[in-house]
Amino acid sequence: MTSILIWLAVAAVRTWTSVYTCGMAPLARDVRRAEIESDLWEWQHDPDRGSGPGAAGQVLLRLVLGVPDDLLWRATHVADRRVATLRTAATVLLFLVAWAYTQWLMPLPLPEPPARLMQFVSDRPTTPPPPPPPPPRPANIR
């Protein structure tokens, strides 16, 4: 009977651990589950732990009293992941804004000159105009 109670208490701890670590990043989730498994293993192999219903009650009491810490651990790790995601997004956005700004500052390329220069054509003859007439002579000069 005692071993069944202990088995049920340990199963309750493992189930709770699976529930509150579900959906976490694999590394954080696996490390936390390994910590709990290590704690359970040490407790089960402790020669001073005692036996009977009191031992199973001790595990269940530690489970209930540890729930706030477990939830705080999860909130901390979710917040860390969100902060990292926001930092990454901010970095990418800053890079894109800087790139767009440098593109805006670059001078526009000048157009290529045409391959052939333009020629102006006129209907007038190409001979130069005649010279202007000489100015009139003043009347009082002889």
Q: What is the mean pLDDT of the chain?
A: 82
pTM for this predicted structure: 0.55
Q: Is the pLDDT of residue 31 over 90?
A: yes
User: Which of 31-35, 36-40, 87-91 is predicted least confidently?
Assistant: 87-91
Once rounded to an integer, what is the mean pLDDT over residues 86-111?
Answer: 82
DSSP string, the chain: -HHHHHHHHHHHHHHHHHHHHTTS-HHHHHHHHHHHHHHHHHHHT-TTS--SHHHHHHHHHHHHHHHHHHHHHHHHHHHHHHHHHHHHHHHHHHHHHHHHHHHHHSPPPPPPPPSS------SS-SSPPPPPPPPPPPTT--
Q: What is the pLDDT of residue 142?
A: 58
Percentage of the chain beyond pLDDT 70 is 88
Q: What is the pLDDT of residue 107?
A: 80
